[in-house]
Amino acid sequence: MASYILRRILATIPVVLFVMLFVFSLLYITPGDPAAILAGDQATQAEIEAIRTDLGLDRSFPVRFVEWSTGVMQGDFGTSIFTQLPVSKMIL
């Protein structure tokens, strides 16, 4: 019984990693620039770049994925860009 449970847990790890990669990559799949959308129509290029830097969108995909997945595994889901509240508190 214990070996069955261990095998099931080990089989779950690749599935969880794939789902995490898929969810994270949705940002890149969707059209448009998130920083430009948040900045609005009247924003200057400097304001958009400041938002991009603040959100970490200027870093590479692998670096951002590792930072994000490490935070998620520690229970840190980040901060909402709309309410500025921790997402974990909003979920609760």
DSSP states along 57-91: TTS-HHHHHHHHHHHHHTT---B-TTT-SBHHHHH
Q: Residue 86 in contact with residue 69, Cβ under 8 Å?
A: no
**DSSP letter at 41?**
T
* pLDDT over 90 (residue 33): no
The 10s digit of each residue's pLDDT in 57-81 is 889 999 999 999 999 889 888 888 7
Domain ranges of the chain: 2-91
CA–CA separation, 47 and 24 (whole Å): 24
* pLDDT over 90 (residue 11): yes
CA–CA separation, 39 and 64 (whole Å): 21
pTM: 0.74
